Amino acid sequence: MLPNLIEYHRPTTMSGALRLLARRKVRTVPLAGGTALVPSRDPSVEAVVDLSALNLAGIQWHAQQAHLGAMTTLQTLASDEIAQRYANGLLTEAARVCATRHIRNVATVGGTLVAGDAACDLLVALLALDARVTVRIRRIRTLALDEFLNAPSAYVDGGIITRVNFPYLQIPHGAALVRIARAPSDAAIVNAAAFVVLDGGMCKQVRLALGGVAPRVIRAASVESELEGRAWDDALAARIAEQFAASLTPPSDARASSEYRREMAAVVAPRALQQAWARAQGD
Amino acid sequence: MEIQLTVNGTSRAFVVEPADTLLHVLRREGFLGVKHGCEDGSCGMCAVILDGRVVNSCTMLAAQAEGKPITTIEGIGTRDALHPLQAAFVEVGAVQCGYCTPAMILAAKALLDQNPHPTEAEVRDALSGVLCRCTGYVKPVEAIMRVVNHRGDLGQGEVRDAATVQ
């Protein structure tokens, strides 16, 4: 629980919520599902602003873009019928494996971004889909998820994440999530998500994201740029991804050593790319 | 602060601190079938059904549950008239040490209320948030599948007055 929490607010307007969050005398933070914040025992939190009455939940699929309301639960995402089909179900698979059913029923997309777990399956999937984050403080600002994850508090302090969006492409593409965990229901130790867009036999766009190899989930930008615009070559993709993995210095923790994570990154990254490519061709 | 909670069909005001979790309030009010386990969302012993969905009551402020119906294990079945899931757990011998049984029953009930004919994979996913330390999930899954396959639809008035459990 939060030991110094003295205020709970559930505003029904965005302006009311922002007014509460702008206060300087009482340390006030947004409350989404609470599955990370409530057990954090963070002693600095004095007031929470429950975002549940602000109509920030829901998924919309527009012609070119998908919009995930920040308060959409992971279970809503996992059971969304379009998400189950788009990009080989990358997002729904990631949402399903990154938390148990009990947590998915409450935890939200926006909260997942702020929690920023370093091996979060949903975050690597969203990075691979080129997701952007919309944050509202005094004004509305939209930035790349990758940029947001560099310093979440710098972007969201005093404000609210309202939405995550990503391109909803209608051209041939493939995606894959590959993860290593002690058991299928455990948190990932290392994971990788890949998204590949085809143009004939050419690789038009590649996205590769990795988790569990750095203090936060990362994009393998050098791998992406080396592969884009070329004819696909399985062996080349695997070699480049392996080279990238070998250059990492992952953190060690109770789940795995730095060395193990580096070796596994060199396994999951090529595998994710190869699976995404194979699926793209199957379209 | 005062909040209005509806527990097992009975709505009333509760005086809580902003920091109180739903778990603490329910146990303080006598709903001891809601177990106090890890307190960080890992074990799922504190499960309740909130607005039709199984959730951990330990990682949620009591105030977040305001206005949504809450079902605890005390609201399911009676000693004389067990809920079909409870009966199946007894028949199959799925009770094990018993500590996680309320959470298992609630997780299964929330699933079957939404989807009366789940696959075994869906049953296992529904139990993904319940950490059994005894033996595992074979017997609970067997008990739930028995209800799915032999008892048809559930839903015969299993929620009773919360006052009778206090």
Q: pTM for the whole thing?
A: 0.94
Beta strands in chain B (DSSP E): 2-7, 10-15, 47-50, 53-56, 69-71
CATH architecture of B2-75: Roll (3.10)
pLDDT averaged over chain A? 95
* CB proximity under 8 Å: B 46-105 to A: 47, 53-56, 58-61, 63-64, 66
pLDDT tens per residue, range A203-244: 999 999 999 999 999 999 999 999 999 998 989 998 999 899
Are the Cβ atoms of B60 and A34 closer than 8 angstroms?
yes
Distance CA A193, CA A210 (A): 7
CB A208 within 8 A of CB A276: no
Options 3.30.465.10, 3.40.50.970, 3.90.470.20, 1.10.10.10; which CATH number does A59-167 get? 3.30.465.10
pLDDT tens per residue, range A84-109: 999 999 999 999 999 999 999 999 99
Distance CA A16, CA A50 (A): 11
Are the Cβ atoms of B21 and A185 closer than 8 angstroms?
no
CATH number assigned to the domain covering B84-150: 1.10.150.120
Q: Which among B61, B105, B130 is the top mutation candidate for probing chain A, defined by the most A β-carbons within 10 Å of its own β-carbon?
A: B61
Query: Domain spanning A7-52: which CATH class is it, in words?
Result: alpha beta
- Cβ density class B65-99: b for 16+ within 10 Å, e for less: bbeebbbbbbbbbeeeebbbbbbbbeebebbbeee
Domain with CATH 3.30.465.10 in chain A: 59-167
For B44, the closest chain A residue by CA position comes to A102
Torsion of CA A132, A136, A138, A141, to 10 degrees: 10
Length of chain B: 166
Domain with CATH 3.30.390.50 in chain A: 173-282
% of chain B surpassing 90 pLDDT: 86
Distance CA A115, CA A35 (A): 10
Question: Which residue has better confidence, B158 or A196?
Answer: A196
Q: Check whether B120 has a pLDDT greater than 50.
A: yes
Token pair 């839903």 is found at B155
Domain with CATH 1.10.150.120 in chain B: 84-150
- Cβ density class B139-152: b for 16+ within 10 Å, e for less: bbbbbbbbbbeeee
Are the Cβ atoms of B125 and A96 closer than 8 angstroms?
yes
Domain with CATH 3.10.20.30 in chain B: 2-75
CB B151 within 8 A of CB B109: no
Are the Cβ atoms of A35 and B47 closer than 8 angstroms?
no
pLDDT tens per residue, range B69-93: 999 999 999 989 999 999 999 999 9
Which chain A residues have a beta carbon less than 8 Å from that of B47? Answer: 102
CB A94 within 8 A of CB A177: yes
CB A86 within 8 A of CB A168: yes
Q: Is B1 an interface residue toward A (CB < 8 Å)?
A: yes
Distance CA B162, CA B160 (A): 6
Tell whether ipTM is more than 0.90.
Answer: yes
- Fold classification of A173-282 is Enolase-like; domain 1 (3.30.390)
Distance CA A154, CA A25 (A): 19
pLDDT tens per residue, range B6-20: 999 999 999 999 999
Q: Is B32 an interface residue toward A (CB < 8 Å)?
A: no
Distance CA A164, CA A142 (A): 9
CB B81 within 8 A of CB B13: no
B151: pLDDT confidence band, cut at 50, 70 and 90?
A: low
